[in-house]
Structure 1
Amino acid sequence: MSEGPSKVPRRVFLKSTLSASMLSSAPILTSKAHAADAPTTSKLILQENALAGADDWQLTRVRVDGDGFRSPWIEGYCSKQSVEAGESIDVMVSCKPSRTFTLELFRMGYYGGKGARLIKKYGPLEATEQPTPSPGEKNLHECLWKPSLTIDIPADWLSGVYVGRLTTIPQPGESYWQSHIVFVVRDNRPADILFQVSDNTWQAYNRWPNNYSIYTHPRGVQGPWADVSFDRPYAREAQHNGVVDDPRTVGSGEFLPFEFPLAYWLEQNGYDVTYCSNSDMLTPERGLKCKAFISVGHDEYWDIRQFHSVEKLRDEGVNLLFLSGNSVCWVTPFRESTDGVANRIIFRGGPYGGGESHAVTRDKDHGPFPHRGPDEGLLMGARNVRPVNGGGDWTVVKPEHWIFAGTGVKQGEAIPGLVGWEYHGDPPEIDGLEVVAGGTAWQGGVNPQQWTATIYPGPKGNYVFNAATIFWAQGLSSPPGHVLPWSHWSRPHGPDARVQQITHNLLRRAVAVREV
């Protein structure tokens, strides 16, 4: 999130670009990695997406209260961010006034272009109005509602993002109302790609019930003053006041606008993908069973254990793809809920950045913070810069690089609007790091800042790619239920064959070179 105008000197960007241009353009991985269609280790995603999709899974009748955040007519949340197949998860639902309701549970994917498959329908079930908690210490809102139902996850449910649709059963003369719940089903199998949803960031921006998020404490929007709990519903997508204007996001965090286009495209193309939440990456074991790890969308808030886990992945040969912006920005410690459930409360503990100026300035301007994370640039290949938000075109710097194979792009060619609403820049000095794209992002025509997309070689024939924008997935697909975001008088244009081919090149190479 932006903290005011400041920019990296142009000489820093130019130095990085010129250094990159002098590096060898030879592939950084083995030759067999350049196979056009690398074999996958599993056909599970292909088999799943051959099943019939749902014609009706989106919210049809949705209503938010006068403050524009919550839907008290029906709303709910889950007892865990993710659940392993074979375990169970509780769903807490509140209705005002009390009503019976149904829950339809969908797995999100491609499914012949429909975007979701109905897994199971529950109900009718009873729901009463459950209490809105009073603000606790550091404005914490922790619901601790009674469960409305428990879902036993069969062992054969495939890992994925599962979105539930809650629908009231109206009394005569009434309308029905709807909202979502969302959770991840995870597994422990070897897989080609690990897709990490950015649910810490969803929760950091969640304003439920009435403008209470990490950003809304009276002491300031950037300090360590506010705690937020996963034990509450997701209000309408928190960026709707300038990035997304779609009330159909109620209850689903930021998945539908910023992450679903990537999941839809991966499954459309049959990639062997498995899913996890931020809280599943506190240790590296899950990721070490995969060939590639993807950070997607707006992945701002990381517990420092996530950082060290993903470092371990890189060092052990896993390919890292940061198809995201403003990522690894804030150290976000987890703690348990009041009733003892692990990893249910987070806060902004301090900046990543080590001794870099952007971290020192954040600490000075908004602290003191209890934590300081390492330099995120040494992991991602680029850093969070100030101002971190804005909009721009994704402009090719090094068209001869292997990531551009088959795209036909030329130096200086731009993919319009793909940079935003937050991004990365200021690449660190890493042996072999190459700036493959770069340019200027603007805050509505003012406060220019340089952004850089980078790639550098890992120690075992792997690579780390940083697309440097939250909007990368917007260039991959536009699934049902998706609305293009925008910001700062700039917007992405939707699916782009160049973005698709670049992503294919990255993933096919990742799949081909690492055995798990």
Structure 2
Amino acid sequence: MGIEKNERREFIKKATLAGVGASLPFSSTTISSGEKRSKVISIENGKPGSDDWQLTRVRPDQSGQRMPWIEGYCSRQSVRAGETIDIMVSTDPVREFTVEIFRTGYYDGKGARLMKKLGPFQGVIQKTPEPGEKNIHECQWDPALSVEIEEDWVSGVYLGRLSTVQTDASDAYWQSYVVFIVKDDRPADVLFQCSDNTWQAYNRWPDKYSVYTDPKGIQGPWAKVSFDRPYGRQSQYNAIVNDPLSFGSGEYLSFEFPMAYFLEKHGYDVTYCSNSDLVTPDRGLKCKAFLSVGHDEYWDIRQYRSVEKMRDQGINLLFFSGNSVCWVSPFTPNSSGKENRTLFRGGPYGGDYKYAVLREERHGPFPERGPDEGYLMGVRNISPVNGGGDWVITNPDHWIFDKTKIRKGDGIPGLVGWEYHGDPPDIPGLEVVASGTAWQGGDNPQTWSAVLYPGPKNNFVFNASTIFWCQGLSRPPGHTLPWSHFSRPHGPDERVQQITHNLLNRSIK
């Protein structure tokens, strides 16, 4: 019997034992912004923001993929208060440089707060690594500095702005970012999982070395990537977001920052983690809602099992993302033995679902096949999985549309893209709330679907089915609207904002 059938049988068994009916047992009312919420985020965002945290001057090399004048990376994806993170930096030519650490958030609309300024330090030229196993490029740079995370640094996504020091007024300076996540262990309403596995999978640094650039093919298991290297220019696909002023920040500023900015503006009790922090469910089980945000394509199988357990224990799952849980991406240690610092495309999720089988036939053989992600997310990765279109409402009477004045057939322009989900599996109580067509330009139409289904403990799973959902929430400083396939989102939309409030408020009730 195939994985797909086993997944369905197991879910129906859990749902039946829990007494799940044909629809969610919720009233149509929503709650306010919540007096019971922790004030951690509100207090943090009451502190003065910074007027100057973005990159001002960048200078890509001829490849367009790196910033050799100043570039760096961090020794860890995430770190707790009281722990230390190393920052590796290379400057070519040799220059002195400074590092400013910013926490991103709302901060009265400024988008970030200066936490610490360090330096100047003497820069050195650090070696570009030779290709290793599976074409991996793993840097073994000496640390330029170590940063102790102070006890009052609140969980969030932190950017380190690297700036070369001017020797005189006529001397040009250059900048790039490093990025890391400060995590914590406190109970919180909302757990925001950053999609840093996918940032790294698409990272081409130093030139053409992502998981998509192996000569054997763009979607096979042949390439391996390392977190021990700088993030190059925005994305494998520069046409989607061609923003050199995001150098070193992965895909965070373009695809995830609008959600963080929105959450913190409205005082939601949110805490942050990396993909690698979800190899066990422990962190998520302390929260009420789990958020997959933006472009969340690459998941270690342990992440899948963790989030599955979270759902089964009553945590609400909100997939404000597209193309999520597409590829099994096993973590492996780096050459020094540090866990979870490399990954590769181990095989498709999907079980016996037709598109997973097709991926295997076209790009395999793969060492691993994951379960049908539809039974976790409510929808699947289909083919084609990329394109652009409007987010069209099909079920306007659903509670997620309370206070929106939405009518059946209304569309939110350009909100579907760059990639999406569709073809919902047969899950008891699953409801399609929006659905429509996405095109690759004017070609290859495909039906996408946004869904919601009930979990086994009076919880629910929602899937917006688009990478671009967060573009409808806010447009913070340092953010550039993406586009693809001759389609683009329009930016903040009151309907998207209200739908998101409805979902969040219900999930943390």
- TM over 0.5, shorter chain: yes
Q: 1:215 to 1:434 in 2, by over 3 A?
A: same
1:27–1:402: 8 Å Cα contact kept in structure 2? no
Matched residue SS, 1:427: coil
Match of 2:24 among 15, 22, 28: 28
Match of 1:120 in 2: 116
1:39–1:511: 8 Å Cα contact kept in structure 2? no
Match of 1:368 in 2: 365
Matched residue SS, 1:494: coil
Distance in 2 between residues matched to 1:366 and 1:26, nearest whole Å: 39
1:29–1:462: 8 Å Cα contact kept in structure 2? no
In structure 2, the gaps of 5 or more residues are: 1-19
Match of 1:190 in 2: 187
Tell me which amino acid in the other structure corresponds to 1:269. Answer: H
Tell me which amino acid in the other structure corresponds to 2:406. Answer: V
Match of 1:294 among 291, 294, 300: 291
Using the TM superposition, name which of 99-108 and 240-249 deviates more: 240-249
Distance in 1 between residues matched to 2:386 and 2:473, nearest whole Å: 21
Tell me which amino acid in the other structure corresponds to 1:147. Answer: P
Match of 2:277 among 277, 280, 295: 280
Alpha-carbon shift at residue 311 of structure 1 (Å): 0.3
Matched residue SS, 1:280: helix
Q: 1:150 to 1:305 in 2, by over 3 A?
A: same
What's the CA shift string for 1:406-448, capped at 9, x where partnerless? 0000000000000001000000000000000000000001000
Match of 2:316 in 1: 319
Alpha-carbon shift at residue 241 of structure 1 (Å): 2.4
Distance in 2 between residues matched to 1:396 and 1:129, nearest whole Å: 54
- 1:506 matched to 2:509? The reply is no
Matched residue SS, 1:148: strand
- 1:467 matched to 2:464? The reply is yes
Distance in 2 between residues matched to 1:30 and 1:489, nearest whole Å: 39
1:475–1:499: 8 Å Cα contact kept in structure 2? yes
Q: 1:305 to 1:166 in 2, by over 3 A?
A: same
- 1:233 matched to 2:230? The reply is yes
1:240–1:246: 8 Å Cα contact kept in structure 2? no
Distance in 2 between residues matched to 1:25 and 1:270, nearest whole Å: 33
What's the CA shift string for 1:190-226, capped at 9, x where partnerless? 0000000000000000000011100000000000000
Alpha-carbon shift at residue 374 of structure 1 (Å): 0.3
Alpha-carbon shift at residue 30 of structure 1 (Å): 4.3
Distance in 2 between residues matched to 1:497 and 1:45, nearest whole Å: 23
Match of 2:57 in 1: 61
Match of 2:92 in 1: 96
Alpha-carbon shift at residue 240 of structure 1 (Å): 5.0
Alpha-carbon shift at residue 337 of structure 1 (Å): 0.5
Distance in 1 between residues matched to 2:211 and 2:110, nearest whole Å: 35
Q: How does 1:111-510 map to 2 (within 5 A)?
A: 111-172=107-168, 173-510=170-507
In structure 1, the gaps of 5 or more residues are: 1-23
Alpha-carbon shift at residue 135 of structure 1 (Å): 0.7
1:25–1:400: 8 Å Cα contact kept in structure 2? no
1:297–1:323: 8 Å Cα contact kept in structure 2? yes
Matched residue SS, 1:370: coil
Alpha-carbon shift at residue 154 of structure 1 (Å): 1.4
What's the CA shift string for 1:466-486, capped at 9, x where partnerless? 000000000000000111000
Match of 2:77 among 78, 81, 85: 81
Matched residue SS, 1:166: strand
Alpha-carbon shift at residue 142 of structure 1 (Å): 0.4
Distance in 1 between residues matched to 2:108 and 2:288, nearest whole Å: 26
Distance in 1 between residues matched to 2:108 and 2:370, nearest whole Å: 43
1:25–1:401: 8 Å Cα contact kept in structure 2? no
Distance in 1 between residues matched to 2:27 and 2:84, nearest whole Å: 45
Matched residue SS, 1:171: coil
Alpha-carbon shift at residue 36 of structure 1 (Å): 3.3
Distance in 2 between residues matched to 1:387 and 1:491, nearest whole Å: 18
Q: What's the Cα RMSD here?
A: 1.3
Distance in 2 between residues matched to 1:422 and 1:240, nearest whole Å: 12
Tell me which amino acid in the other structure corresponds to 2:96. Answer: T
Q: 1:33 to 1:158 in 2, by over 3 A?
A: farther
Distance in 1 between residues matched to 2:36 and 2:116, nearest whole Å: 29
Matched residue SS, 2:375: helix
State the TM-score, normalizing by the size of structure 1: 0.93
Tell me which amino acid in the other structure corresponds to 1:453. Answer: A
- 1:51 matched to 2:59? The reply is no
Distance in 2 between residues matched to 1:29 and 1:182, nearest whole Å: 41
2:23–2:454: 8 Å Cα contact kept in structure 1? no
Alpha-carbon shift at residue 171 of structure 1 (Å): 2.9
Matched residue SS, 2:181: strand
Aligned length: 489
Alpha-carbon shift at residue 41 of structure 1 (Å): 3.0
What's the CA shift string for 1:244-295, capped at 9, x where partnerless? 1211110000000000000000000000000000000000000000000000
Alpha-carbon shift at residue 144 of structure 1 (Å): 1.1
Distance in 2 between residues matched to 1:348 and 1:126, nearest whole Å: 38
Alpha-carbon shift at residue 86 of structure 1 (Å): 1.2
Matched residue SS, 2:433: strand
Alpha-carbon shift at residue 170 of structure 1 (Å): 2.5
1:101–1:124: 8 Å Cα contact kept in structure 2? yes
Alpha-carbon shift at residue 156 of structure 1 (Å): 1.9
